[in-house]
A and B are shown apart, each in its own frame.
Chain A
Amino acid sequence: MSLEEKKQAVIEEFSMYDEWLDKYEYLIELGKSLEAYPEEKKTEEKLIKGCQSRVWLDYELKDGKLYFRADSDAIITKGIISLLISVYSGRTPAEIAADDFGFVDQIGLKENLSPTRANGLVSMIDTIKWVANDTAAKEKMADQVGHDDKAVLTAEDVAALQPLYADVILALKQVYDPEIPVNIYDLGLIYELNIDKERKVSIVMTFTAPNCPMADEVMHEVEESVKRVPGVTGCTIELTFEPVWDRSMLSEEARVELGLDYEEDDYGKLN
């Protein structure tokens, strides 16, 4: 069944029930019949933020398609996520990334949930979208590198490298700008981050000012921090001032950290 057909089927199924209690009954059944989720995967990392009840979502990429598994301690939430999985599991990342998830509104799920639940639902959808987008982006990147035979990354390689990307980002977040109390990653100093098949990391980065006297020291610190990540076999850093860094590159976290939310025009560049 195509994605469109499947969505239509769900909408039809849902419209069979007039009463919301019956719809809940249907969701509860879906929740109860959801494939068992491994206990060891109930980790903080797999936990979806924004749900009052707890939801864990795990995924894998197989033959170019994403497969999701999930669990929740609340059964109606589990039913909702089961519904999402039945629609989106087994689709290609590109297909999911291009979808607008509008069918969730069509079956009236969002407005019939309490705000906390609705937020949870939005978080679940956001997570699925993020996974799809992220995987699709990595695949595209792999295709580009693919012209060089040695560097060819299959979709499986990309999936396998994903945890390493997360670890490297974490390592980058340990390095702080010498003048601004925000880490270099959230400051937006990292322009490119690639990990090849041999697990060598290559980084293209910048500084807030071209004449930063601490540049060498910070680059050294970045290299050391990344090399310490288990699994990483090497790290090369390329310095660039093209484009020139500006405040728009700050992450949301960095903005909050620096209290820049409401003073957009007051400061200009941070150097």
Chain B
Amino acid sequence: MTVEEIRNQFPALAETVYGKPLVYLDNAATAQRPLAVLEKERRLASTVNGNIHRAVHKLAIDATEEYEKTRDLVADFLNAGSREEVVFTSGTTMSINLVASCFGEAFIGEGDEVIVSVAEHHSNIVPWQLLCQRKKAVLKVLDIDEFGGLEVGTLEKLISQRTKIVAISHISNVLGLVNPVSEIVRIAHAHNIPVLVDGAQGSVHEKVDVQEMGCDFYAFSGHKVYGATGTGVLYGKKKWLDAMPPYMGGGEMIETVRFSGTTFAPVPGKFEAGTQNFNAVPTLQEALTLTRQFQEDVEVAQNEWAITQYLLDTLSADPRIHIYGVPRGTQVKIPLFSFSVEGAHHEDLALILDKMGIAVRSGQMCAEPLMDRCGVTGMLRASFAPYNTMGEAEYFVKCLNKAISMLI
């Protein structure tokens, strides 16, 4: 696929802002959606809008089929052991909250420990903090080195008899480095400790095989893999999902309801209480098919690699710029660049770039502990998708230089 072919599928990319062509470099926050996804959601909403799993009428049956077909496809996308291991959620945040709440309820008690890394998104910190407060458990933190790589070597020391779960991101949304999750799983499993992987960024860029990775939970969001917003996935090994209590009570998650006591539906239904996002979830079919195509396409890989090299070289050659998350050895860096500029505030830069038509992210990027660790109040982040061109990367650098010269 050429970049042009890809761009044609994404109507948002033809937009102009302030009279300038949109250069969308905030893909790590949310990706633009292709026509296939936009049309799918519209079609379902206008022709197959029936509440799933309940009624016997045609609309409900067709909607249910679309919804459940998606579960098969997601199971295939992740290479899950079975379709029962796929739970639909509203996004990564809900997926992680579900595990923190339900796994925590069943398996974590006073004095137990949870391990996260310092480079986690707030969504993979705060649910665990809440759990720890509730259960009087302890949150322990795996550090990063000066280049932004995880200090995996110290994980062994952090683990104790009281460690009940390790929650780690596949790829940090700030550093953009692919973490050695298989190794982390190996270390944790050697102590019989399950691992949750936050795949919000990982599912976009890496071909995920949960069986090969060995993780116990994998969470990701639909809107970052070109699907509709408000969709998300929690993969969980069946043995854990079976052992966990339900998250929310309500319709569809039950088997029988009596005032004397209620029994719950088998997984994954147990975790899908209430009316599901059934117009949006099936867009994951188109979205994940496209994501997989992107992950396997040679031209896409070449374009991404060229952009990554160009930006790493250009940004690190500028003495005013400090990049966070520098790949070393064979470590893979996705086309995501968080940096600070000496003497120029990230918000000022983002504001000026915006008026030049460039959408970038500024601030703490939902990772305040990591900002503190790096000694900054915020950063500027440019994150690329397969539809971004080398020309856009060059325009970004040109505009960044102009913005810096305005500010310094």
Provide the residues of chain B in CB contact with A73, threshold 8 Å: 345, 377
User: Contacts of B347 on A, CB cut-off 8 Å?
Assistant: 52-53, 74, 76-77, 117
Q: Is the CB of A75 within 8 A of B345?
A: yes
Q: Is the CB of B356 within 8 A of A74?
A: no
> Which one of A18-26, A130-138, A172-180, A194-202 is at the interface?
A18-26
Q: Number of contacting residues on A, CB 8 A?
A: 18
B311-355 to A contact mask, C-beta < 8 Å, 1/0: 000000000000000000000000000000000110110111011
Q: Name the CB-closest residue of A to B343.
A: A75
Q: How far is the CB of B395 from chain A (nearest CB, A)?
A: 15
Interface of A toward B, CB cutoff 8 Å = 19-21, 24-25, 28, 52-54, 73-77, 113-114, 116-117
Chain A residues with Cβ below 8 Å from B348 are 28, 74-77
- Which residues of the partner chain B approach A52 to less than 8 Å between Cβ atoms? 347, 363, 378
Say whether B345 contacts A53, CB under 8 Å.
yes
Bound-state CA distance A21–B345 (Å) is 16
Q: Does B259 sit within 8 A of A, measured CB to CB?
A: no
CA A53 to CA B348, docked complex, whole Å: 9
Most B CB atoms within 10 A — which of A24, A74, A76, A77?
A: A74
Closest to A53 in B: B347
Taking the nearest CB of chain A, how far is it from the CB of B30, in angstroms? 16
24 A-B pairs in the complex with CB atoms less than 8 angstroms apart: A19-B355, A21-B352, A21-B355, A21-B356, A24-B351, A24-B352, A24-B355, A25-B406, A28-B407, A52-B347, A52-B363, A53-B347, A54-B377, A74-B347, A74-B348, A75-B344, A76-B348, A76-B352, A77-B348, A113-B351, A114-B350, A114-B354, A116-B363, A117-B347
CA distance A130 to B378 in the complex (A): 29
> Least Cβ distance of B287 to chain A in Å?
28
**Max count, chain A CB within 10 A of own CB: residue among B348, B350, B378:** B348
- Which residue of chain B lies nearest to A77 when distances are taken between CB atoms in the complex? B347
Residues of B within 8 A of A54 (CB): 377
What are the 6 closest A-B residue pairs judged by CB atoms, nearest first? A74-B345, A20-B355, A74-B347, A76-B348, A53-B347, A74-B348
Bound complex: CA of A210 vs CA of B355, how far in Å? 62
- Give, as a whole number of angstroms, the nearest-CB distance from B352 to chain A: 6
Are A28 and B406 in contact, CB atoms less than 8 angstroms apart? yes
Complex: how many Å from CA A216 to CA B356?
66
- In the complex, the chain B residue whose C-beta lies closest to that of A25 is B406
In the docked arrangement, what's the CA distance between A45 and B378, Å? 22
Q: Which of B350, B351, B356 has the most CB of A within 10 A?
A: B351
Q: B406 and A24: CB pair below 8 A?
A: yes
In the complex, which of the residues A20, A74, A116, A117 contacts B18, with contact meaning CB atoms closer than 8 Å?
A20
- What is the minimal beta-carbon distance from A22 to any residue of chain B, in angstroms? 10
Could you say which of A54, A75, A116 has the most chain B C-beta atoms within 10 Å of its C-beta?
A75
Residues on the A chain within 8 Å of B350, using CB: 114
B351 contact set on A, CB distance < 8 A: 24, 76, 113-114, 117
Q: Report the bound CA distance from A31 to B354 in whole Å.
A: 19
Complex Cα distance, B376 from A73, in Å, reads 12
Which of B350, B352, B363 has the most CB atoms of chain A within a 10 A radius of its CB?
A: B352
Give bound CA distance, A21 to B356, whole Å: 8
Given contacts A24-B352, A74-B347, A76-B348, 18 further A-B pairs with CB under 8 A are: A20-B18, A20-B355, A21-B356, A24-B351, A25-B406, A28-B407, A52-B347, A52-B363, A52-B378, A53-B347, A74-B345, A74-B348, A75-B344, A75-B345, A76-B347, A77-B347, A113-B351, A117-B351
